[in-house]
Amino acid sequence: MARHVTTDIAIIGAGVVGLAIAERLLADGREVVLVDPGKPGMGASYGNAGTIADYAVSPVGSPDVLWNLPSLLFSKTSPLAIRHAALPTLLPWLLRFARQSLPANARHNAVAIAALLANAQPLWEELALRLSGAGLLQRRGCLYLYETAAAFTAAEADMAARRALGVSVDLIDPAALARMEPNLPAVAGGAAFFPQATFLSDPGRMVGLLAAAVAAKAEVVTARADRLTRRLDGVVIEGEGLHLHARKVIIAAGAHSRGLALQAGDKIPLDTERGYHVEWDMPNPRLSRPVCPTARGFYLCPMEGRLRVAGTVELGGLTLPPSPHRIARLVSGARAIFPDLGPPDREWMGFRPSLPDSLPVIGPSRGGAEVIHAFGHGHVGLTLAPITAMIVADLVAGRSIETDLHPYRVDRF
């Protein structure tokens, strides 16, 4: 028999975005119930690169990516790959992605991403303090590594575009790079250093602190939300063993949000990027800040007691098994930087919610504000969780919102 629960606000999804929204709403004195089939914070929120990426203003789709899309999608060594079994269902998404990669659309999307990222760092500082997790927030910047002189020269235009969008970045030569990260191998190119970037030395622990803070004040229901129905007095959410009635529902289920949004009346071209990581346990993880060898498409992340190598983009949906090739590519890429690495101690795959324009959906459903969308954050879900939470809390309370939500509206598709 299904358990009947009634609440003011139901949040579907207990990843970092849903948890951050819950934390903010609870601070406003709202009654909240959180619904998720898994352990809170243990999806992509746990397995990411841990970067609070204020510099990540570039959408995945760009003119360069569009030009190289055929080779990127079908090359086994590409940082962007597609599972061929998923290609028939992905074709409509890929056509939209190609359109969003055109120059004017890519510029528009970059401006919209930058607008959300502008306050990401101070909001994370505030959240970490509230969670007693400030020690996990490392203020050491981040590096993009260019292994060849040609790649370093080509990066100048990219960095100029980021500066125009408010990003602080310095291009440094190989000697300066060696002083910053002496354990890296010598390179002919150099690096881009983002001095304002911060990172979490253990994103799983930070999200665990957030989940504990929420669970202390709100009910967390372990169930899958399968059905969403509007009624005159609110919204009913149902699933196996679940019957939940709420005045408002916030869909923050990440890569699992599309079906629920459709039941709310919104057809959104959400698909899934499958992200991977591998880890090596070591007391000294060799680096003092995240380093992204840009040609290889992953991050080397120094975390507490381990080195995490996270990244690559694989379009493949929610049902196919992990790709051994993607794991092997991360391992071989890490060994190209640190040749003495042995077999990894663990490997992981998670799901990123991906929209063709790299912009999340934040705002009320077409059918009414009793359903609010907050998903589709792609590669910057960790970064954007606190700002998304602030926006959603303001929407719920009817407060004025400083951020222009027009680029993230549900009816842009």
| pLDDT bracket for residue 76 (50, 70, 90) | low
**DSSP string of 300-313?**
EEEETTEEEEEEEE
CA atoms within 13 A on the CB side of 288: 12
The whole-angstrom separation of Cα 408 and Cα 406 is: 6
Residues 22 and 168 in one domain: no
Residues 219 and 295 in one domain: no
What integer is the mean pLDDT of 248-258?
96
Question: What pLDDT shows up at residue 412?
Answer: 93
CB 223 within 8 A of CB 242: yes
Residues 194 and 241 in one domain: no
Instruction: Report the number of secondary-structure helices (H) and strands (E) in the chain.
Output: 13, 20
What integer is the mean pLDDT of 313-329?
86
Query: Kind of pairing, strands 142-146 and 137-138?
Result: unpaired
Q: Domain with 215 in it: what CATH number?
A: 3.50.50.60
Question: Taking 60 as the threshold, does the pLDDT of residue 1 lie above it?
Answer: no
| pLDDT bracket for residue 318 (50, 70, 90) | confident
What are the distances in angstroms from CA 75 to CA 13, 69, 80, 96, 325?
34, 10, 8, 21, 12
**DSSP string of 262-280?**
HHTT-----EEEEEEEEEE
Residues 276 and 333 in one domain: yes
For residue 77 the two structure tokens come to 């060594």
Residues 154 and 196 in one domain: yes
Q: Which domain holds residue 58?
A: 50-102+136-200+271-354
Which domain-ending residue is among 354, 372, 404?
Answer: 354
The whole-angstrom separation of Cα 327 and Cα 55 is: 26
pLDDT digits (tens, 9 = 90+) for 181-229: 999 999 999 999 999 999 999 999 999 999 999 999 999 999 999 999 9
Q: Domain with 325 in it: what CATH number?
A: 3.30.9.10
Residues 171 and 30 in one domain: no
pLDDT digits (tens, 9 = 90+) for 8-35: 999 999 999 999 999 999 999 999 999 9
**129 occurs within a structural domain:** no
Residues 265 and 279 in one domain: no
Task: Specify the pTM.
Answer: 0.95
Count: domains in the chain: 2
What integer is the mean pLDDT of 371-396?
96
Residues 20 and 97 in one domain: no
Q: Which residues pair with 373 in a beta bridge?
A: 251, 363
